[in-house]
Structure 1
Amino acid sequence: MDEITEIYNKLGGIISEDDFRKKVEEKVEQMSGLCDVKTAAMLVAHDLGVTDTAKEVIKIKDINPEIGNVNFVAKVVSVFDVREFNRNDGTIGKVGNLMVADDTGSIRLTLWDERADLIKNGNIEVGDCMEISGYAKDGYSGTEVNIGRYGVINTTDQNIEVRLDSQKISEIRDGMGDINVSGKLLDISDVRTFQKKDGSQGRVGNILIGDETGKIRVTLWDEKVDSTKEMKLDDTIEIINGYARTNNFSQQVEIQIGNHGVLRKTDAEVEYRENFTPIADIIPGESYSIEGSVSGLGELREFDRDDGTTNMVSNIYVSDDTGRIRIALWGDHALLVDELDIDTPIQIIDAYSKAGFNDEIELSAGNRTRITIM
C-alpha cells in the first residue's frame, strides 16, 4: 500500500481514489515542489474536511512519520520568519516554522498559508504553550509536523515542562541550525553600530562562552545585544535557536543569534577551564592561550592607519618553562606595557600566531584577545 492509498483509505469513500490522486498531483504542482506527495495527500484530505485523527494526546518523543495525524501539547521555544512563494497557479503561498518542546524532546512545526499568518502577525511567541493537531512526516532534519488549514494550534493554560536537546561547544559546526547550548560567560565585547542596507542603524556585539569541551564566540544582533546588560563574567548562559557560521576574518566557527534566538542566564552548572599551550608548541596560523611571566618590555608606539585614524602598538616578551615569545599588543592592550614589570605573571588568551621578524613566531593580541595580569 503506497502513501496516497493509505491516506485515501481514511476518507471513507467521499470521492474516488482516482479523483483523490488527481487532486494530490494538482496540490504538488500548486505548491511548486515545496511539499512531497505524502504531505500533499494530507493537505488534500484536510481540504476535503477530513480531520479524523486519533484523539489520544502523545508526547513528542513518540511522534514519528508512521503515525500520521498527531495530537500533543508543547511549548514554543523558537519562532522563524514566514516566507512567501509563488504557486504554479499564480497565487501566493506562505510557510513558517516553529520549534516546540515538551519534557521528552523538541520537534519542528511547519505552518502553511493562513496558519503561517499566526506567526507573521505575532500571535505566536516564544514561551507560549500550545495544543497542536497536525500531520507527522519526514522533514529535512528529522520528523516534523505539518499544520494546514484544518490543523489545530491553540494556546493552552497548561504549564508545560521543556527538555531541549543541546550540543556541546566542540560539536558545533559551520551551517548548523537550531543550536541549543549552555556555557560559562568568559568575555563581553563593546557594542558596535553600523548602517544597514535600508538606511537604518543596526547594532552588533559579541560574547565568548565556554564549556568543558571548548569555547566559542557568539554574535548578537540588534536588540539581542541588550540581553547582556544583566549578565556578568562567569555567569552560566543558555542559547536557544542559534545558528553557526564561519567568520570570514578569523576563519573560526561562531554562533549567531538573530531575532528568533534566545539568550538568557541559567542556573545550570557548566565547567570551563582554559587550555594553555606551552610556548614551544606554538605554530603559525592558529589562535593560542599562554601563561607565563613577562621577560621583556618594549616601547609604546603610535601610528596612523590608512583611514587616517591613530592606533597604538607595543611589544612584550613572555616566557614559560618551554620557551620565550614576543607578543604584539594592539590598541588599548598596548597601554599595558607601562603597567608591567619583568617577572609579572600574565595570561594571554586568544592571541593569533604568525611568523614575524626573521621568521620567528610571535603572537598578535588584538581586540579578541583577553589579557590577565595575575
Structure 2
Amino acid sequence: MISKFENYVNIIIERTGFSRSEILILMEEKKAELKDLISDEAALFIIAKENGININENVEISIMDITQSMRTIVLYGRVKLIYPIHSFENRNGELGFFGIFILHDHTGDIRVIAWNDHIKLFEQKDFRRNTLVKILSATAKYDRYNNLELHLGRFSRVILNPEDIDPKKYPIISETVSKVSDIKSIDEGLISLEGKIVQIFPITKYETFSGKVSYIISIDFIDDSGMIKITFWGKDSNKIQNFKPKDNIKITNLITHRNRVNNLIELYATPATRISISEKDVCFKLEYFEKVSDLNNIDGLTNFKGYISNIDNIVKIRTKSGRQNYFLNFFVGDEKNSIRITIYGESAFFYYKILKLGCEITLQNVLVKYNKKIRRHEAIFLNCSSLEINTTSRKPILESSEMKYSSIVSIKNLGYYKIKGFISKVISKIYFYEACGKCNKKFENCNTYSHKKERPITRMIINMMIDDETASIRTAFIGNIAEKLLRKKTQDVIMIHHPERYLNQLIGKNIVLTGPTRFNDYTGQYELIVKQFYFVQFNSRLNDYIKTIYLSISE
C-alpha cells in the first residue's frame, strides 16, 4: 500500500510538473520556515494548498503539526480535560451552546471547541478523561491570545474509541506534579502542583463584561523550587475558601497566564481544578543573609537580619473593591544599605507597638522583590513570615560626631547620613498634627491602652530643601527638632499669624544635619528625617556658591 507521504508527492508532481527533488527541497524549506515544528506530510499538504491543489482526503497529523492554514484535519489523541458547556446569544438573538475539551497526544495539547449540535458529544458516557478520540475535518484557528485551537464545524466528526487506532501509541495520561521553577512559558499545558499556601489575598468583587457580578481571589503558592501566584475566577473562587495559609496542598489542572503589568507568569484555576490537603510537608531551605546589602540580587522568600533605622506611621488605604486596609512601612539596614519592609492588615498595629528604633531584628520567610517604581528591592511581610527583636543589641545611630560627611548626590540608598549645606527653600507651610503624648506617634495610630488615657498633644513638621555643592535634598524637621529650628514651642507657633515668615529668615543659613533617609514614592527622591542639626560657618568658596544660588532664587 502506498504511503501517505508518497501519495502527496505524486499528486503534487502530477498537478504542478515539479520534479521529486524540487518537491523535497520545497518540503525542507517549509519545515525550516516553521522551525521544524511540522511533519513531512504536513509540509507537503501546505505546499499543495499554496499551489492551488485541493487534496480531498483528510490529513492525519500530530498536534504539533497543526497550522492555521489547515482545514481538513484528522487527529487522534486522548481526552485530557473536559470543561462545562456554556451558552451564548448569537447575532439573531438565538440561544447557542459550545463546549471545550483538551486533546492530548505525544506532541502536546490543543483546545477543541464543539459548537451547537456537537455538544451532544459531552452527553455520551464514554466521553471522559483518557477516552481515545478520532477527529475528522476540524478547522484550525488562532484564539485571541494567538494560540491555535480546533473548531468542530458542520462537516466535522468525532469518533470515540475508534477501531483504526493503536492504543499503545497513545499512553494513558497520568497526572504529573510539576515544580514551580519548571513553569517558564504560557505554553505549558495543564499543570498540577504540590506545595504550601503562603498567603491568601482578600476576595474581590468585580463586574463582568455582561454586567454580572463575580468574584476573584488569589493565593501565593510555594514549593521547594520557588513561588507563584494562583488566581481563582468566578465560581472557582469557592474552591479555596476552606483552606488557610501554611496549608500543604495538592492543586491540579491549572493553566498558565502572563501578567501584562509585571510580565510575570501566573497560574489560573480552571473548572477542572481540584484542591486537596497534601500529606507531604513542604520543607524549603532559605538562604540566610547577615547583611541587608547582600539582598540586592535576591527575588523570593529569604531570611535576613539588620537594625531598625526608621519606622513610619500606619497608613490607612482603600482598595479598588472599596475595602479598607492598613499598612506599615519600616526600614532595616546595615552599614551600607537599608531595605523597606511592609506589613499589611491588622498585623501592622501589633508590630507598630513593639518595633523600636536601633534594635537588631531577624526576619524569616520574608518576600524580597524588585520594585520598578522605586528602582530598588523591598520586602513584604507575609502570613508565613516571622520576626524576632533582639532588644539587648542596639545600634548607636545618632553618634553624629563620629559619622563622616556624605555629599547629597551620593545619597542613593536608605540609611543614616550626615550632610552639610545651606537652607535653600521652605517647601510648604508648617504642618500641625495630633500626637500621643507618651510615644509621639500619631494619636490615631497609637494603640497602647494606657496611652489612650492621656490627652493628645500638638506637634509640627517643617519641610525644607538643603543644598550643597553637589545636589539638593528635601528634609523634615519633626516635633522637638522643629521647635529647636524655630526656637519656639509648638503652642506659641500656632498662635502666630503667618509663622512661615520666621522660616524665610533661615534661608541661606549654613547647617549640618544627621538622620535617616526615606524614599518618597511620589517624587521618586530620597528625603532626610532630621534627628540632629546645628548651624555652622563654611569656607569662603561655599559661601560664594550659597550667595549665587540664593540671589537666583530671590530673583
| TM bucket normalised to smaller | 0.5 to 0.7
The one-letter code of the counterpart of 1:164 is: E
Instruction: Indicate conservation of the 8 Å contact 2:366/2:379, yes or no.
Output: no
Structure 1 residue matching 2:293: 3-state secondary structure: helix
1:371 and 2:385 equivalent? yes
**Cα distance change on mapping 1:23 and 1:355 into 2, 3 Å:** closer
1:237 and 2:250 equivalent? yes
Candidates 116, 119, 127, aligned match of 1:117: 119
**Cα distance change on mapping 1:240 and 1:36 into 2, 3 Å:** same
Q: Could you say which residue in structure 2 is the equivalent of 1:36? A: 70
Aligned partners of 1:268 and 1:369: how far apart in 2?
Answer: 20
Once the two structures are aligned, what percentage of the paired residues are identical?
12
Deviation (angstroms), 1:372: 1.6
Candidates 99, 106, 117, aligned match of 2:102: 99
Q: Could you say which residue in structure 1 is the equivalent of 2:181? A: 170
What is the correspondence of 1:158-237 to structure 2 with a 5 Å cutoff? Answer: 162-165=173-176, 167-189=178-200, 190-232=202-244, 233-237=246-250
Q: Could you say which residue in structure 2 is the equivalent of 1:291? A: 304
Deviation (angstroms), 1:173: 3.1
Aligned partners of 1:132 and 1:306: how far apart in 2?
Answer: 48
**Cα distance change on mapping 1:107 and 1:176 into 2, 3 Å:** closer
Q: Could you say which residue in structure 2 is the equivalent of 1:280? A: 293
Bigger Rg over Cα: 2
Aligned partners of 1:271 and 1:209: how far apart in 2?
Answer: 13
**Cα distance change on mapping 1:322 and 1:166 into 2, 3 Å:** farther
> Deviations along 1:300-345, whole A, 9 cap, x unmatched?
3446779999764544343579965443445545322214464453
Instruction: Indicate conservation of the 8 Å contact 1:175/1:244, yes or no.
Output: yes
> Deviations along 1:7-34, whole A, 9 cap, x unmatched?
xxxxxxxxxxxxxx8683999xxxxx96
Structure 1 residue matching 2:385: 3-state secondary structure: strand
Deviation (angstroms), 1:262: 4.3
TM-score, with length taken from structure 2:
0.42
Structure with bigger RCO (C-alpha 8 Å, 6+ apart): 1
1:77 and 2:81 equivalent? yes
Q: Could you say which residue in structure 1 is the equivalent of 2:474? A: none
Structure 1 residue matching 2:218: 3-state secondary structure: strand
Alignment size in residue pairs: 310
Candidates 345, 348, 355, aligned match of 1:334: 348
Aligned partners of 1:294 and 1:237: how far apart in 2?
Answer: 39
Q: Could you say which residue in structure 2 is the equivalent of 1:48? A: none
The one-letter code of the counterpart of 2:378 is: L
Aligned partners of 2:100 and 2:159: how far apart in 1?
Answer: 15
Query: Which has the larger helix fraction?
Result: 2
1:345 and 2:358 equivalent? no
Q: Could you say which residue in structure 1 is the equivalent of 2:481? A: none
> Deviations along 1:41-87, whole A, 9 cap, x unmatched?
x5xxxxxxxxxxxxxxxxxxxxxxxxx7x6x8x56434387899x9x
Deviation (angstroms), 1:4: 9.7
1:24 and 2:38 equivalent? no
Aligned partners of 2:304 and 2:336: how far apart in 1?
Answer: 11
Instruction: Indicate conservation of the 8 Å contact 2:308/2:331, yes or no.
Output: yes
Aligned partners of 1:267 and 1:310: how far apart in 2?
Answer: 36
Deviation (angstroms), 1:218: 0.7
Instruction: Indicate conservation of the 8 Å contact 2:207/2:213, yes or no.
Output: yes
- CA RMSD after TM alignment: 5.5
Deviation (angstroms), 1:365: 3.4
Aligned partners of 1:26 and 1:362: how far apart in 2?
Answer: 57
Mind listing any 5+ residue stretches in structure 1 that lack a counterpart? 7-20, 28-32, 43-67, 87-92, 155-159
Aligned partners of 1:206 and 1:125: how far apart in 2?
Answer: 35
Aligned partners of 2:215 and 2:332: how far apart in 1?
Answer: 36
Q: Could you say which residue in structure 2 is the equivalent of 1:53? A: none
**Cα distance change on mapping 1:136 and 1:345 into 2, 3 Å:** farther
Aligned partners of 2:117 and 2:281: how far apart in 1?
Answer: 39
**Cα distance change on mapping 1:170 and 1:343 into 2, 3 Å:** same
**Cα distance change on mapping 1:118 and 1:254 into 2, 3 Å:** same
Deviation (angstroms), 1:203: 1.0
Aligned partners of 1:288 and 1:101: how far apart in 2?
Answer: 36
1:300 and 2:313 equivalent? yes
Aligned partners of 1:263 and 1:108: how far apart in 2?
Answer: 24
Deviation (angstroms), 1:196: 1.7
Instruction: Indicate conservation of the 8 Å contact 2:286/2:301, yes or no.
Output: no
Instruction: Indicate conservation of the 8 Å contact 2:230/2:268, yes or no.
Output: yes
Structure 2 residue matching 1:151: 3-state secondary structure: strand
Aligned partners of 2:258 and 2:5: how far apart in 1?
Answer: 38
The one-letter code of the counterpart of 2:364 is: Q
Deviation (angstroms), 1:181: 3.0
